[in-house]
């Protein structure tokens, strides 16, 4: 009898243990479904709103732009495949792809506001299935956004991490992430308001939310190929409608269940950063509460109008359709929208009130600035081999010479062949006025890369940022049109000028009879 009782108790203990394990697993699964992160993983160290991407005990195996790797734009940690990757700071996902990204294989790019500045972080070399977030998703510091891998140009399992001033996908510049990583490891908060001074936490939180949402509006506009002026209009609308806060409403109870920057009483069904309504074709409540979706819906409507010939007030009001006596409110926030755009995008908006067509903007037809404006208007478009003509993108995007022929034609009316040019087949390299070196370059000049007299890549010179020459270019497969340092193109072999203000006349040669390969890029 004693043996029977003991056996019963033993089986009951086993059953209880199994039930407890099942409960834990269920909770983990639920957490994974909700947060797209790894349940049970050791969290990274978080200090002052910043979080270390991996365990702080993990040594950096390759540093930022070291003597042996001067082109290495980030740092590497040698970690096993599947190691949880944590977001450095609160932000919005601007790129998330688990395969096909040149050099990276898979990557995640997140836009942040850190110490009052717009910044981006990059997490690279994820294997297929290793990316756990989606574009437009808002994340918190320490959230698991991916599992590390060994894809792309990788010699072993590791996490590649980059920190950029501005937008990694458009006009950003890489910077050494080591100081900010050391700050986290050493427990230094360093958290400041946008003005750079320690301040009221509530005010800082509002500023961060506004900049985060503004950065999303800017990034979405650039990805859609919207001109700078259109993005300024969108920012002015966001300021008027919500002070660029993602607002839920008591009038729409469902909206309170989604990430938001505050809940308003609400006198109708308007929600989100643009105060859109679900019953008016802007999407579901869940979609409108996603700032990236809300911005996309605004741009779709704005770009379908003749907004280029209107003031900020008129263009915005035609989309938002307020009462007649409230139409002027958007223009009242125009200056603030321009200031915020310049700070977060890194350059002043090109164009002006009532006219933002790159070929006829304030910079003047035929000038180098008009070429630059045309090129920048296409930032965010995907690289498409053979893509682009004088009318704009084809098949949804551009290759490098397709972007330059579009920009030069839009800015000056000069037609170029869709080929960079080499010693056998004349192309863009053989046209225009030669410029001696990068120090003599002017905005709108074309910069060519390759070897000898064979060009394999071309971009549009835009000027310097912090003394570093910049260009707009269509890099390669899996990437988008972006603004980056000229050094990103490789070996510079020639600079050509096509603006009508050049001292010599630009010549135009017929396009090659047959389609030609663009080259390595």
Give per-residue pLDDT as tens, 140-153: 889 999 999 999 88
pLDDT of residue 259: 85
pLDDT of residue 394: 83
Residue 188 pLDDT exceeds 60: no
pLDDT of residue 85: 95
The average pLDDT across 67-96 equals 89
pLDDT of residue 500: 57
pLDDT tens per residue across span 326-366: 777 888 888 888 888 877 776 666 653 333 333 333 333 45
Q: Residue 202's pLDDT band (boundaries 50, 70, 90)? A: very low
pLDDT of residue 267: 66
In percent, the amount of the chain with pLDDT more than 70 equals: 78
pLDDT of residue 44: 53
Q: Residue 428's pLDDT band (boundaries 50, 70, 90)? A: very high
| Torsions phi, psi for 222 (to 5 deg) | -65, -40
Q: Is 106 exposed, middle or buried (0-12, 13-18, 19+ CB in 10 A)?
A: buried
Q: Is residue 228 a contact partner of residue 350, using CB atoms and an 8 Å limit?
A: yes
The average pLDDT across 292-305 equals 89
User: Rounded to whole angstroms, what are the CA distances from 315 to 26, 176, 204, 309, 374?
Assistant: 51, 41, 31, 9, 21
| Torsions phi, psi for 456 (to 5 deg) | -110, -5
The average pLDDT across 197-217 equals 60
The average pLDDT across 264-272 equals 84
Q: Residue 49's pLDDT band (boundaries 50, 70, 90)? A: confident
pLDDT of residue 491: 92
pLDDT tens per residue across span 371-410: 887 888 788 888 888 888 888 888 888 999 999 998 898 8
pLDDT of residue 350: 62
Beta bridge mates, 165 = 119, 173
pLDDT tens per residue across span 478-495: 888 898 999 988 899 999
The average pLDDT across 100-125 equals 87
| Torsions phi, psi for 13 (to 5 deg) | -65, -40
pLDDT of residue 360: 31
Q: Domain spanning 46-185 has what CATH number?
A: 2.70.70.10
Q: What is the rounded CA–CA span in Å between residue 327 and residue 127? A: 50
Taking the model in full, what pTM does it have?
Answer: 0.38
Q: What is the rounded CA–CA span in Å between residue 64 and residue 71? A: 8
Q: What order of strands is seen across the sheet that includes strand 433-434? A: 433-434, 492-497, 446-451, 454-465, 468-473, 482-485
pLDDT tens per residue across span 7-31: 455 556 555 555 555 554 554 444 3
Mean pLDDT of the chain: 78
- Cα 303 from chain centre: 20
Can you tell me whether residue 280 is helix, strand or coil? helix
> CA-based angle 401:407:411, to the nearest 5?
150
User: Which of the two residues, 283 and 3, has the higher pLDDT score?
Assistant: 283
pLDDT of residue 346: 63
Does the structural domain 368-497 have CATH classification 3.40.50.261? no
Residue 431 pLDDT exceeds 50: yes
Q: What is the DSSP string of 160-229?
A: EEEEEEEETTEEEEEE--HHHHHHHHTT------TTSS---HHHHHHHHHHHHHHHHHHHHHHHTT--HH
Q: What is the rounded CA–CA span in Å between residue 106 and residue 144? A: 15
Residue extents of the structural domains in the chain: 1-35, 46-185, 201-345, 368-497
H/E stretch holding 449 = strand 446-451
Nearest by Cα to 393 from 172, 402, 416: 402
DSSP 486: G
| Torsions phi, psi for 216 (to 5 deg) | -65, -45
Q: Is residue 424 a contact partner of residue 442, using CB atoms and an 8 Å limit?
A: no
pLDDT tens per residue across span 508-518: 332 332 333 33
Q: Residue 135's pLDDT band (boundaries 50, 70, 90)? A: confident
pLDDT of residue 95: 86
pLDDT of residue 12: 60
pLDDT of residue 513: 28
Residue 171 pLDDT exceeds 50: yes
Which positions ≥6 away from 56 have C-beta within 8 Å?
Answer: 44, 45, 184, 185
pLDDT of residue 35: 39
pLDDT of residue 163: 94
User: Which of the two residues, 335 and 43, has the higher pLDDT score?
Assistant: 335
pLDDT of residue 121: 94
pLDDT of residue 348: 64
pLDDT of residue 71: 82
Q: Residue 499's pLDDT band (boundaries 50, 70, 90)? A: confident
Can you tell me whether residue 158 is helix, strand or coil? strand
Q: Is residue 357 a contact partner of residue 346, using CB atoms and an 8 Å limit?
A: no
């Amino acid at each position: 009898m004693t043996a029977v009782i003991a056996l019963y108790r033993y089986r009951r203990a086993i059953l209880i243990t199994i039930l407890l394990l099942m409960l834990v697993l269920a909770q983990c699964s639920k957490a994974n479904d909700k947060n797209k992160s790894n349940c049970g993983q050791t969290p990274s160290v978080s200090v002052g709103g910043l979080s270390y991407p991996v365990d702080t005990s993990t040594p950096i195996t390759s540093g930022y732009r070291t003597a042996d790797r001067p082109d290495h734009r980030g740092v590497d940690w040698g970690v096993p495949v599947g190691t949880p990757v944590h977001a450095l700071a609160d932000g919005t996902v601007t790129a998330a792809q688990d395969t096909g990204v040149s050099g990276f294989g898979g990557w995640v790019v997140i836009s942040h506001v850190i110490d009052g500045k717009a910044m981006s972080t990059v997490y690279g070399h994820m294997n297929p299935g290793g990316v756990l977030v989606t574009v437009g998703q808002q994340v918190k510091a320490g959230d698991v956004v991916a599992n590390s891998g060994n894809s792309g140009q990788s010699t072993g399992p590791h996490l590649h991490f980059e920190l950029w001033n501005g937008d990694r996908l458009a006009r950003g510049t890489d910077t050494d992430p080591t100081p900010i990583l050391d700050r986290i490891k050493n427990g230094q908060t360093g958290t400041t308001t946008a003005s750079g001074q320690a301040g009221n936490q509530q005010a800082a939180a509002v500023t961060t939310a506004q900049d985060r949402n503004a950065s999303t509006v800017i990034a979405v506009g650039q990805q859609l190929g919207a001109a700078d002026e259109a993005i300024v209009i969108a920012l002015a609308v966001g300021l008027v409608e919500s002070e660029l806060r993602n607002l839920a409403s008591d009038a729409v109870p469902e909206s309170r269940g989604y990430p938001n920057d505050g809940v308003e009483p609400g006198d109708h069904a308007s929600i989100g950063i643009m105060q859109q309504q679900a019953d008016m074709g802007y999407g579901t409540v869940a979609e409108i509460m996603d700032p990236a979706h809300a911005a996309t819906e605004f741009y779709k409507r704005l770009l379908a109008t003749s907004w280029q010939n209107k003031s900020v007030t008129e263009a915005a009001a035609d989309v938002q359709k307020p009462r007649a006596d409230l139409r002027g409110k958007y223009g009242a926030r125009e200056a603030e929208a321009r200031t915020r755009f310049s700070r977060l995008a890194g350059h002043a908006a090109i164009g002006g009130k009532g006219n933002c067509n790159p070929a006829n903007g304030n910079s003047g037809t035929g000038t180098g600035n008009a070429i630059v404006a045309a090129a920048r208007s296409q930032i965010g478009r995907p690289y498409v081999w053979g893509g682009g003509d004088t009318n704009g993108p084809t098949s949804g995007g551009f290759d490098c010479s397709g972007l330059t022929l579009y920009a030069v034609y839009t800015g000056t009316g000069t037609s170029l062949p869709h080929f960079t040019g080499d010693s056998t087949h004349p192309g863009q390299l053989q046209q225009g006025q030669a410029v001696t070196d990068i120090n003599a370059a002017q905005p709108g000049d074309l910069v060519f890369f390759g070897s000898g007299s064979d060009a394999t890549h071309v971009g549009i010179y835009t000027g310097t940022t912090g003394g570093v020459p910049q260009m707009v270019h269509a890099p390669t497969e899996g990437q988008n049109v972006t603004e980056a340092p000229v050094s990103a193109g490789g070996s510079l072999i020639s600079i050509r000028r096509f603006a009508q203000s050049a001292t010599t006349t630009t010549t135009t040669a017929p396009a090659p009879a047959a389609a030609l390969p663009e080259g390595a890029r």
